[in-house]
Amino acid sequence: MRAFGTTIFAEMSALAAQTGSINLGQGFPDTDGPAAMLDRAVQAIGSGLNQYPPGPGTLELRQAVSEHRLAHYGLTYAADGEILVTVGATEAIAATVLALCEPGDEVIAFEPYYDSYAASIALAGARLTAVTMRPVDGRFTFDPDELRAAVTPRTKAILVNSPHNPTGTVFTRAELTAIAGLCQEAGLIAITDEVYEHLTFDGVEHIPLATLPGMRERTVMISSAGKTFSVTGWKTGWVCAPAPLVRAVNTVKQFLTYTASAPWQLAVAYGLRQELEWVAALRSGLQDKRDRLMEGLAAAGFEVLRPSGTYFVQTDIRPLGFTDGMDLARRLPELAGVVAIPTQVFYEHPERGTHFVRFAFCKKDEVIDEAVTRLKRLSA
Ligand code: PMP
Ligand code: GLN
């Protein structure tokens, strides 16, 4: 794992703290989740729910996830056997890849990709094959022919993240249909990372890959509470899949962490059942913040790409006269008192993302405004 060093999020958040910069790097909100849900966690601790919950997770959360999947997507997963609670989506992804891949197997992921994918695949001794997403009319997408060409006899799985971090793309039904067709032809398992499932804008809806014909049986669907309820520090996630796949994932998961923390599980069950109106308000608030940050970044001289989901905006830094996003990200605290994420670290082919920098907009309006004011120094 030497090659993996320190994650870009840790590096950039430390840089923000050291320099007193505004942190639009690591994606975490600066406001809290729904108050009643936070109270539930406190109550759970106060009422003695402080010992190991069952390995697969607290039944109440598994039931709440099952109800939520059915109500939102028409998907049926049995609380007993088809749902597994994990320590965030991160553990779910790692346990799934470790469970399904033998050394030498190949896993396809769309680059730029969330950094834990490459690390989890490396831990399994497997190989990552990256299919590049590129901006077409201002929206990052992939070429279905390149995707098809990435499949070899060793390809075991494809990791599909929609809404997609770091580009903000929400895959369309046509894009998902291309992925689904390939999975069925080549016998691949789809591992879907849907942690931003509720954070979509402009009326764009998230479509889970598992809802496409023939996909439920070959999809390991992953999500978590962090983004939906603004509790990224709770690290409560889940896997939904047919029982044999969940059994395989749990076989690994039980030796990574055995089980996830008890109090958060009850609180998240409450959130999924009672706080979806709060989530709807979060989503429309985030859409306004997206527009606010996009407008500000454009005024500061960046070329801005419009995301349909997540809470990240991609910018092209070349109009400001910069060419290397890593170099700019490291100098940004000194140049402008702001921290951002260089997108190139999320590529197998970093040269394809050299000129992109990611900014997060899950921040208070005044924080976004101050960051934009500071960034205007870049062109001054
Ligand atoms: N996948 C993506 C695409 C993410 O952006 C993140 C970061 N929240 C995760 C997974 C990890 O989620 P969690 O914090 O629930 O482990
Ligand atoms: N998901 C968050 C992001 O992309 C950060 C997660 C992390 O710090 N590992 O910014």
Strand (E) positions, 70-125?
A: 83-86, 106-111
The whole-angstrom separation of Cα 167 and Cα 113 is: 9
- The pLDDT tens digits of the residues spanning 214-240 come to 999 999 999 999 999 999 999 999 999
- The pLDDT tens digits of the residues spanning 58-93 come to 999 999 999 999 999 999 999 999 999 999 999 999
Mean pLDDT within 335-350: 97
Q: Which ligand is nearest to the CA of 235?
A: 1
Distance 133 CA to ligand 2 centre (A): 20
The whole-angstrom separation of Cα 231 and Cα 34 is: 9
Q: How many CB atoms lie under 10 A from the CB of residue 187? A: 10
The whole-angstrom separation of Cα 8 and Cα 166 is: 13
Mean pLDDT within 154-164: 98
The whole-angstrom separation of Cα 179 and Cα 207 is: 13
> What's the distance, CA 20 to chain centroid?
26
Q: What are phi and psi of 47, to 5 degrees?
A: -100, 15
Task: Give the confidence band of 376 by pLDDT, cuts at 50, 70, 90.
Answer: very high
The whole-angstrom separation of Cα 168 and Cα 313 is: 7
Token look-up 């407008």 returns 295
Distance 198 CA to ligand 1 centre (A): 14
Q: What are phi and psi of 192, to 5 degrees?
A: -105, 130
- The pLDDT tens digits of the residues spanning 125-148 come to 999 999 999 999 999 999 999 999
Cis peptide bond upstream of 153, omega within 30: no
Task: Give the confidence band of 306 by pLDDT, cuts at 50, 70, 90.
Answer: very high
- The pLDDT tens digits of the residues spanning 17-50 come to 999 999 999 999 999 999 999 999 999 999 999 9
For ligand 2, atom 9, name the residue with the nearest CA: 9
pLDDT at 168 over 90: yes
The SS3 assignment for 316 reads strand
> Tokens at residue 22, please?
């505004």
Distance 93 CA to ligand 2 centre (A): 14
The SS3 assignment for 243 reads helix
Mean pLDDT within 82-111: 98
Point out the ligand 2 atom lying closest to the alpha carbon of residue 25: 10
Task: Give the confidence band of 118 by pLDDT, cuts at 50, 70, 90.
Answer: very high
Instruction: Return the pLDDT at 300.
Output: 97
- The pLDDT tens digits of the residues spanning 175-191 come to 999 999 999 999 999 99
Binding-site residues, ligand 2, Cβ < 6 A: 7, 9, 26-27, 165
Instruction: Return the pLDDT at 155.
Output: 98
Q: What is the mean pLDDT of the chain?
A: 97
Task: Give the confidence band of 380 by pLDDT, cuts at 50, 70, 90.
Answer: confident
Binding-site residues, ligand 1, Cβ < 6 A: 88-90, 114, 161, 165, 193, 195, 224, 226-227, 232, 235, 237
